[in-house]
Structure 1
Amino acid sequence: MTAVSFDLLIILPALLAGLLVLVTHIPLGAQVLKRGIVFIDLAIAQIAALGVIIAGVADFDPQGWAVQVAAALAAVLGAVLLTWTEKRWPEVQEAQIGVMFILAATAGLLLVAHNPHGGEHLQDLLAGQILWVRYDQLLVPAIGTVVISALLLLFRDRLSRLGFYLIFALAVTASVQLVGVYLVFTSLIVPGLAVRHYAGRKRLVLAYLIGAAGYASGLVLSTLFDLPSGALIVWCLAILAMLVYAAGPKRQGTLSSRHG
């Protein structure tokens, strides 16, 4: 077995994890941009990570169902709370999302303050350990991806505020544990930003291509240069997104204002 084939065997489950994340996060990211609540993904992802930390403090098996339930429950509670705040104070919803993110992040810091491995655990939740994902870890996220994709196709643009937040929370719950908070945010927002001026089905296809190419190139480069996979994938996604945006159509209003 050559070094190249060995590296590909390491990369394959990680790439499959990334593709699973992209299946649901590309359409959800488009909804996030449309609704103007960009930082909801960071907030919900951080709340789901807080659920994982709480489960760890309670000495639950890191690979057990209890951790999944804790993360999902935390994310759903966060989604319900955000639904309530949007109904009560819609004019400051983005600020409220930011506050929830900060509270969840600092709560995690407090909970692991006396844990000798707390810093390492937080780093894993933020940057992820995607390169070391195993095939058996993909079963539950794969089932969740099928269910969430079916719900998105069934309801399309008819999702209520609460329905959207709940589906979003469930999608983010599994992806945070697979790829980390940074990649969850990047997968949701960056491809959507790049293709926002493209028309029709081309927009969705290009977004998926950016995502797949970003994950693949980041994983390959991380193994070649021994660099953190999550951080490198974020940069690869961002660079590809900028290239696709630069090569694409521009909004007519922007061009007109410049010529005016």
Structure 2
Amino acid sequence: MTLAGLDAGILGPALLAGLLVLATHVPLGMKVLERGIVFIDLAIAQIAGIGVIAADVMGFEAQGWAVQISALSAAALGALLLTWTERRWPEIQEALIGVLFVIASCTGLLLLAGNPHGGEHLKDLLVGQILWVSSEQLLQMAVLTILVLAIWFGTGQRLGRAGFYLLFALAVTASVQLVGVYLVFASLIIPALATRAWLRRRLPVAWALGALAYLLGLALSAVFDLPSGAVVVLAMAGLGLLLAACSKIRPQTCSADRQP
């Protein structure tokens, strides 16, 4: 245990990366929860990961445009496939999303089978490297975040099924390379789930929950020298449980939000 790890030069960019991910994933997560397709982000993130792995196998630069195009193309194809399956078999959409996730995961493992650094690449994809985000990555993510939020709040319900899936794929493709699959899922689902009882001010409360979890998780991981992504996920889960329990034990905390 040491306080030397509390370096603002490292934790600051990591926290900013988390806030950028939360900015888009919290509102998207509420929609995902409403539609009952909770595991869509795992599937899309894993498919985007296949694009990243495939580009790496072909020898493209890790942070180059070829990798981004490969990841986004894979995620977009996955999004279009899920659009079609929801239209064709809406009653089993969640099951199909789970099957797609498993297929994508196994495909990724096969692509990495002959890579001597395959285990490291897989760990980076799942847990992420949030402590080592670059200023260029943050700038790209900031631009993408503004674009996604503008489309989301500007079009509202007019996006349609295909539009929602494609916008979701765009947001997840960027975030999974920044923070990893686990943090993408946590950022999408936990704040939305913990604030489901809030009818008003739900969005800012969910954003605040996620931001506090990133701040607490990054600080704890630095002090105890633990993997940052895993600690942030656990911090978010713990804070989410506390908020949900508070909402049940003391309804007045969100009673004002239940009024019409």
- Aligned partner of 1:255 in structure 2 is none
- Aligned partner of 2:57 in structure 1 is 57
- Aligned partner of 2:165 in structure 1 is 165
Would the aligned equivalents of 1:198 and 1:249 in 2 still touch at CA under 8 Å?
Answer: no
Q: Please identify runs of 4+ aligned residues in structure 1 that moved more than 6 A.
A: none
TM-score (norm: length of structure 2): 0.93
- Aligned partner of 2:80 in structure 1 is 80
The answer to whether the aligner puts 1:148 opposite 2:177 as a matched pair is no
Unaligned runs of 5+ in 2: 252-260
> 2:16 is aligned with what amino acid?
L
- Aligned partner of 1:194 in structure 2 is 194
Distance 2:70 2:142 in 1: 19
Distance 2:218 2:5 in 1: 14
- Aligned partner of 1:101 in structure 2 is 101
Distance 1:171 1:246 in 2: 30
Secondary structure of the residue aligned to 1:200 is coil
TM-score (norm: length of structure 1): 0.93
> 1:153 is aligned with what amino acid?
F
Percentage identity across aligned positions?
61
Deviations 1:190-245 (A, max 9, x none): 000100001212x1111011100001111111111000000000000000001111
Please tell me the root mean square deviation across aligned C-alpha atoms, in Å: 1.4
Would the aligned equivalents of 1:17 and 1:133 in 2 still touch at CA under 8 Å?
Answer: yes
Secondary structure of the residue aligned to 2:226 is coil
Cα–Cα, structure 1 residues 78 and 5, in superposed 2: closer, same or farther, change >3 Å?
closer
Distance 1:158 1:33 in 2: 18
**1:70 offset after TM fit, Å?**
0.5
**1:128 offset after TM fit, Å?**
0.6
- Aligned partner of 2:7 in structure 1 is 7
- Aligned partner of 1:256 in structure 2 is none
> 2:77 is aligned with what amino acid?
L
- Aligned partner of 2:206 in structure 1 is 207
Q: How many residues align?
A: 248
Would the aligned equivalents of 1:11 and 1:219 in 2 still touch at CA under 8 Å?
Answer: yes
> 1:135 is aligned with what amino acid?
S
> 2:123 is aligned with what amino acid?
Q
Cα–Cα, structure 1 residues 220 and 93, in superposed 2: closer, same or farther, change >3 Å?
same
Distance 1:10 1:42 in 2: 27
Secondary structure of the residue aligned to 1:160 is helix
